[in-house]
Structures are given as C-alpha cells and as structure tokens.
C-alpha cells in the first residue's frame, strides 16, 4: 500500500500541483529541488518535507518516486531509487493514476493548452461541477493551478513534450493545434503526428475528440467521418466564431453552432489565438451541458492564466506597460507580438530568453524571423531547462534576428544589465514584453521594483 511519495523536481508548477493533490488525498509527501519557489513554500506549509538540493540521502523510505521531465538520468536521488528498487513514475504517469476514478478531459496541442484548460476549468467550476483540475499556470479565478474536486470530471493539460500524455485515458480529448516542437524528443513531424494519433485513439467510442478545424496538421491525423469528432474554428467547424472584433486588450465574436447563433462572446484577453482557445473550451463546455449563460459570464470575466500575456504593472506615471508571456516557440512569439501590436502603445520592446538549446538550434531559422512586429528586441542567454549546454553564438543569433526580422536587436547576457539598458532607453508609450518559458519575467519585476522604490524616495 502506497503511503509515502517522493517527488524529484517538486518545485515546478505541474509537479507541485501533483504534490498538492497527493497531500489533499492523505499521502505523506517529500521532495527536492534546486531552488525554492512559492509553490514549494505552500507545500511545506501543508506538511510536505522538502530539501533544497538533490542528494541520495533525501530519500527516506518512500513507496514510490515521481520524476519531472527535467530530471537527468544521473540525478543522485533517481540513481538511489533505482539502486533500492523503488518504483519510479513519470509526472504524467502518476497524474493518470490520480484520474482513474474520474472522467478525464485532456487538452493537448503545441500552443494554447494552459489558457484553454484554464477557461474550461473555470467554466466547470462556475457551473458547480466541482472538477479536479491541473493547469500548467496560475489561474486567478481558481486561486492557483490545481483543485482536488469531488465531481466526476478531471480537467487537465496533456503535455506532449516527452510523449508521456499517452499514459492518459481521456474520455474527452482536445487538440488545439499541432506544430513541430520538442526536437529533443521527436525525430521529426511524422513522429509527432504518430504520437498525437495514438493519443486520440485512446478516446473510447462513447467519448469525444475536439479538433481545431483550421489547423492543417490536425486534419492529417483525424477521420472527418469519425463519430467522436467535433470541430471548432474561425474558417469553419461545428462551433465557429464569426464577426470577430479585435481591440486593444479584449476581443468579441459571435458564437455559432452549425447555422445557429448562440450569442456574443466577450473576452478580456486579446488576439486571434485566444479566440481559438475560447472556441476549444466552449466546445467542450457545451458538450458537458454547461449553460451558455455560464460560459458567456465566465469568459467575460476571465483574466487569463499566469504568464499568458499577463499584465505585470505600469511604470513612470503609468505611461509604460510591462507584460509577461510564456511564448517560447517562434509561432507563439509571432502571435504574442501581433497581439501586443494591436494595443495603443507606440513601441513594442521584446526581451526574449530562448528555452532549451535543442529547440533554439532546431528552429533557428524560424526564431530569427519571428520578431518582425517588435520595434526593439533584447536577447539574453538560453535557459537550458536541464539540457547540457551547446555552442550557440548568441551574438550571431541576435544579428540574424536583426537581419531577418528587420528590427533593432541587442544581446545582453545579464538581467541586471538589461534593466540598466532599459532605464536609459525606455520612452513614454512603450510596451515591454518579456518572452520565454524560463525566468526572464524577473526583468519586468526588477523594473517595477525599481520604479516603486524611486516613488518612495521621491515621496
């Protein structure tokens, strides 16, 4: 009988969420990570025993060990667990076990998983369904990224990065879009499509598969006559957005189900990508028999998930806006910059921290052409995410961005130096956008703290 569970890499948003659910369900939880986080502080306050380093003696007598995808094979705790014959589970594997007694709704795809999952989770919560929830980002309406509900649904992201989403047995599967990413795991686009096909084939005959009608890659892995299939889109689909109105920080559209207009949807989040995210969430919510009134009211108040075009604050008499976004793929960068360009701000200053050496290397040509909607781009060092460093010339990468995106670009390694550079170059009417899946958000926080400190001194 499993009583104690040890999590290696417990500090990340997903692993900490799993740890929180385990605590709620009565397990003893221990874990480790290399640096502290607010998630770890919350876990410790709720009884988890956590060490701020990876070493073999962190393992006491766990019944099982759970590892995040970032843990290398030579991690001393992993090696010790293998030596002692302790069962080892991947993150998705243990999450799948937590779902066993509930109806799983799994949201997969290259982009938009977190926002779509967040939208649907809040809709279901507002409808009184008390779902269990696992989201890869903070959701203000939920007060976090997890919920251990007693209802029949478990709503979760399905992360394709290492293929481990195949552990899930979804009743409903949602595919937001499909594009080549994670070259550290997938050999090529064909392998990616094969695994996504395996994923949707796990949906039972009585289940449902929700597909973005407008995505050409998804069309290659589905049979349009499949009775499980429901589509959503802008160009077409069973559920369709028409009469879209894009504004500075919000969007509205008319929602159609077939030929029937259900009503207008108003979003507090900008951009075409969020129309697609909303359509995906709405399609599932309607299939769950959540009322259109609840759907509409939820979306009209939904402020977005953490690190998804998240407003961090205003500088210098509220004339300069700081936004943070998790975008770490060329398509996500283009989409986020396009949404920023629709704002009232005069200049878009993008600070980009590449995520993973393998992704930067594999998608190099796409990255250097992705910044055309910015006015100034600041490049900083690659966030390795556990990968061994590779020789990538960041000065040359920056020059290539300047040439291919036709935008002014500078390379600055240190966050403190980026802050000093911006102190000198920021102007009234600028929008500063930190981009990347690492810790680049700290630059925005440094700017805001400095501005607050100056106001205190001036006051």
Render 219-242 in DSSP notation, one character per residue.
HTTS-TT-TTEEEEESSS-SEEEE
Which uninterrupted H or E stretch holds 415? helix 415-425
Alpha-carbon gap, residue 355 to 436, rounded angstroms:
6
Give pLDDT tens digits for 321-347. 999 999 999 999 998 999 898 888 999
Alpha-carbon gap, residue 91 to 98, rounded angstroms:
11
Are residue 239 and residue 323 in the same domain, yes or no? no
Q: Which of 40, 70, 90 is the last residue of a domain?
A: 90
For residue 410, the cross-strand partners are 378
Are residue 319 and residue 207 in the same domain, yes or no? no
Alpha-carbon gap, residue 154 to 13, rounded angstroms:
17
The proportion of the chain whose per-residue pLDDT surpasses 70, expressed as a percent, equals: 98
End-to-end CA distance of the chain: 61
Give pLDDT tens digits for 58-75. 999 999 999 988 898 999
Residue 36 confidence (pLDDT): 84
Q: Which of 58, 90, 122 is the last residue of a domain?
A: 90
Alpha-carbon gap, residue 314 to 334, rounded angstroms:
23
pLDDT reading at 458 higher than 70: no
Catalytically annotated residue among 116, 117, 157, 331: 157
Are residue 64 and residue 158 in the same domain, yes or no? no
C-alpha angle 71-76-78 in degrees, rounded to nearest 5: 55
pLDDT reading at 309 higher than 90: no
Residue 456 confidence (pLDDT): 66
Beta strands 4-8 and 64-67 are parallel
Give pLDDT tens digits for 251-260. 999 999 999 9
Active site residue 53: no
Contact 21, 132 (CB under 8 A): yes
Q: Tokens for 300?
A: 């009209």
For residue 154, the cross-strand partners are 104, 132
pLDDT reading at 166 higher than 60: yes
pTM of the prediction?
0.84
Of residues 182 and 384, the one with the higher pLDDT is: 384
- Maximum Cα–Cα distance across the chain: 68
Total number of domains in the chain? 3
Are residue 254 and residue 190 in the same domain, yes or no? yes
**Nearest-CA neighbor of 359 among 182, 190, 187?**
182
pLDDT reading at 186 higher than 70: no
Of residues 309 and 187, the one with the higher pLDDT is: 309
Residue 388 confidence (pLDDT): 86
Model confidence at 392, pLDDT cuts 50, 70, 90, reads very high
Beta strands in 268-355 (DSSP E): 310-315, 320-325, 347-352
Are residue 115 and residue 189 in the same domain, yes or no? yes
Catalytically annotated residue among 110, 113, 160, 296: 113
Residue 163 confidence (pLDDT): 79
Model confidence at 239, pLDDT cuts 50, 70, 90, reads very high
Are residue 47 and residue 151 in the same domain, yes or no? no
Give pLDDT tens digits for 75-91. 999 999 999 999 999 98
Of residues 254 and 191, the one with the higher pLDDT is: 254
Lowest mean pLDDT among 49-63, 142-156, 184-198, 428-442: 184-198
Are residue 143 and residue 160 in the same domain, yes or no? yes
Are residue 58 and residue 177 in the same domain, yes or no? no
Alpha-carbon gap, residue 440 to 379, rounded angstroms:
10
Residue 29 structural domain: 4-90
Q: Which of 301, 336, 362 is the last residue of a domain?
A: 301
Are residue 379 and residue 411 in the same domain, yes or no? yes
Contact 354, 383 (CB under 8 A): yes
Catalytically annotated residue among 30, 104, 110, 114: 114
Are residue 289 and residue 351 in the same domain, yes or no? no
- Phi/psi of residue 251, each to 5°? -150, 150
Are residue 193 and residue 326 in the same domain, yes or no? no
Residue 47 confidence (pLDDT): 95
- For range 158-171, the mean pLDDT: 87
Model confidence at 444, pLDDT cuts 50, 70, 90, reads very high
Q: Tokens for 134?
A: 């696992």
pLDDT reading at 146 higher than 60: yes
Active site residue 157: yes
Active site residue 231: no
């Amino acid at each position: 009988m499993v009583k104690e569970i040890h999590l290696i890499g417990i500090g990340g948003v997903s692993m900490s969420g799993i740890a929180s659910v385990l605590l709620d369900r009565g397990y003893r939880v221990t874990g480790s990570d290399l640096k502290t986080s607010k998630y770890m502080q919350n876990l410790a306050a709720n009884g988890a025993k956590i060490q701020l380093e990876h070493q073999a003696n962190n393992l006491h007598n766990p019944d099982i060990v759970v590892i995040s995808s970032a843990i290398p094979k030579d991690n001393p705790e992993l090696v010790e667990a293998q030596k002692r014959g302790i069962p080892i589970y991947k993150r998705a594997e243990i999450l799948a076990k937590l779902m066993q007694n509930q109806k799983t709704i799994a949201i997969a795809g290259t982009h938009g998983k977190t926002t779509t999952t967040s939208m649907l989770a809040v809709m279901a919560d507002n409808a009184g369904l008390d779902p269990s929830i696992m989201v890869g980002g903070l959701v203000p309406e939920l007060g976090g990224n997890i919920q251990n509900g007693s209802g029949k649904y478990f709503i979760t992201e399905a992360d394709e990065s290492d293929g481990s989403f195949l552990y899930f047995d979804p009743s409903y599967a949602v595919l937001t879009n499909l594009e080549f990413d994670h070259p550290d795991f997938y050999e090529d686009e064909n392998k990616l499509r094969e695994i996504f096909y395996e994923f949707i084939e796990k949906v039972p005959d009585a289940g449902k598969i929700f597909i973005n009608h407008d995505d050409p890659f998804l069309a290659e892995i589905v049979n349009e006559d499949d009775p499980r299939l429901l589509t959503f889109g802008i160009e077409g689909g069973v559920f369709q957005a028409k009469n879209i109105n894009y504004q500075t920080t919000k969007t509205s559209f008319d929602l159609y189900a077939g030929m029937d207009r259900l009503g207008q949807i108003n979003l507090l989040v900008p951009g075409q990508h969020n129309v697609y995210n909303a359509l995906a969430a709405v399609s599932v919510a309607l299939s769950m028999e959540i009322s259109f009134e609840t759907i509409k009211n939820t979306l009209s108040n939904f402020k977005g998930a953490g690190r998804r075009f998240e407003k961090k604050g205003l500088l210098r008499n509220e004339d300069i806006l700081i936004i943070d976004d998790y975008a770490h793929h060329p398509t996500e960068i283009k989409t986020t910059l396009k949404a920023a360009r629709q704002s009232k701000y005069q200049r878009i200053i993008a600070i980009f921290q590449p995520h993973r050496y393998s992704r930067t290397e594999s998608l190099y040509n796409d990255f250097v052409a992705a910044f055309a909607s910015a006015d100034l781009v600041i490049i900083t060092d690659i966030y390795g995410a556990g990968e061994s460093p590779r020789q990538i010339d960041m000065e040359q990468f920056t020059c290539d961005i300047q040439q291919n995106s036709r935008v002014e670009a500078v390379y600055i390694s240190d966050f403190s130096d980026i802050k000093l550079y911006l102190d000198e170059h920021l102007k009234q009417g600028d929008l500063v956008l930190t981009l990347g899946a690492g810790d680049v958000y700290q630059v925005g926080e440094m700017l805001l703290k400095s501005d607050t400190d100056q106001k205190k001194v001036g006051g």
